[in-house]
Amino acid sequence: MTKILVIGAGRSATTLISYLLKHAEGHNWKITVADMDVKLAEQKVNGHLNGDAISFDIENEQKRQDVISSHDFIISMLPAFMHMPVALDCLALNKHLATASYVSQEMKSLHETAKQKKLLFLNECGLDPGIDHASAMKLIHEVENSGGKVISFKSYCGGLVAPESNTNPWGYKFSWNPRNVVLAGQSTAQYLQNGETKFIPYNRLFKQIETIEVTGFGKFDAYANRDSLSYIDVYGLDEIKTMLRGTLRQQNYCKAWHVFVQLGLTDDSAALTDLNLNTYEDLVKAFLPQSKGTLKERLANFIGADWDSEIEVMLDYLEILTKKPLILNKVSAAKHLQALLEEKWKLEKGDKDMIVMQHLFECLNSKGEKFKIVSSLVVKGDDPVNTAMSKTVGLPLAICVKNFLTGVFAEHGVVVPTTEKIYTPLLKELEAYGICFEETSINV
């Protein structure tokens, strides 16, 4: 029997766990779901005969190593900064590992040792990163195999709310870790545009945006991700002129979020200890220079020409300029903001989230003629638990773990899903779950 350990039973793990349990009996697997909240783990296992739920504290080194040592394949659904203790234990105890997170420099440094030990350390195998890699590499290889080359590649993805569940002016509800949303973009974005390296610092990120249109779903704001340049090498696009990866939000979201950035409300670096901070009105007032007028007038003057009625409506919805009480004490501005957003941007009963992804390619064919490829994906969730985010993060990881354990591919070391042996069966099975791209090729 192969024993699989899933560490973390949060929002994005639901579909992953369900898939593994569904296939457990047929492949003789035992699935252990480990979480600090054992009741949450028990809910995800749901009494399955091939499943088990345990309490798990990542900080308890001895128990962590004991649990890992008793399993064959480890899947970490923890936040990215928590992966390394698990990865180092896996390396020492000769266990395979999979995550949906970006490959950090620390993780990358384990490649040669993992490869020598014939261990798979699969990373970036969720939605973004993950499905984006697999779908992009499929198209890149098709262009190259026909004698052409890719000269421009832009890729965008967003975890949004479905139109029928869009009940607030921000067009956003949480379907994954709220902290990641609040802290998004705080590293300088870097990308390639027409052969020139470009940088966008955090203070301009949500202002310097593009508009992306997806047929049938309208237009979206798109802001640049932190590092697009490293994927030139990952995708083997040495001669490319434009390389950009970005995040999608509903239109107008970015200009309103930019207000929080300018104020400093997304800062997580220091706890605010002023005992006079009792309401959100107090919080905003504390971040504004002294001036006359109502709080809204002072904020509008501070923002300047960018202030408009749409921003006003979005801030009014949050009640952030009112005497709404702060529910936390002595925490950062970002944590105060997060607490408010978790109340206001909650998926309610019956709500559905939505994933939107789009790849935009500019290519030359074998005759040197230019053409474009537009590849778009839209996936809707079923309900607030079985979300599109959970499907698109969990399924790729679960499918690739199954494919490795059943011998479909046999790569070792620190790996991402950019090789044909990994992405071809992955994309094929994802189609069976309704996760498939619409592709259009246009001659220019």
Write out the catalytic residue numbers: 128
Amino acid at 314: M
Report helix, strand or coil for 121: strand
Kind and range of the H or E run holding 116: helix 111-116
Q: Write the DSSP string, 1-50.
A: -EEEEEE--SGGGHHHHHHHHHHHHHHTEEEEEEESSHHHHHHHHTT-TT
The secondary structure of 180-199 as a DSSP string is HHHTTT-SPEEEEETTEEEE
Please name the residues in contact with 183: beta carbons below 8 A apart, sequence gap of 6 or more. 266, 268, 334
Query: DSSP assignment of 219-232, as one string?
Result: EEEEEE-SB-THHH
Backbone angles phi, psi at 427, to 5 degrees: -65, -35
* Distance, CA of 398 to CA of 234 (rounded, Å): 22
Question: Cα–Cα distance between 31 and 402 in angstroms, integer?
Answer: 12
- CA–CA distance, 195 with 180 (Å, rounded to integer): 31
Q: Quickly tell me which residue has 């591919």 as its tokens.
A: 409
**For residue 99, what are the β-bridge partners?**
76
Type of residue numbered 66: D
- State both tokens at 219: 């237009």
Instruction: Determine whether 47 is exposed, middle or buried from the number of CB atoms within 10 Å of its CB (0-12, 13-18, 19+).
Output: exposed
Q: Cα dist. 345→102, 174, 333 in Å?
A: 26, 6, 18
Distance separating alpha carbons of residues 43 and 277, to the nearest angstrom: 38
| Tally of CB atoms within 10 A around 215 | 11
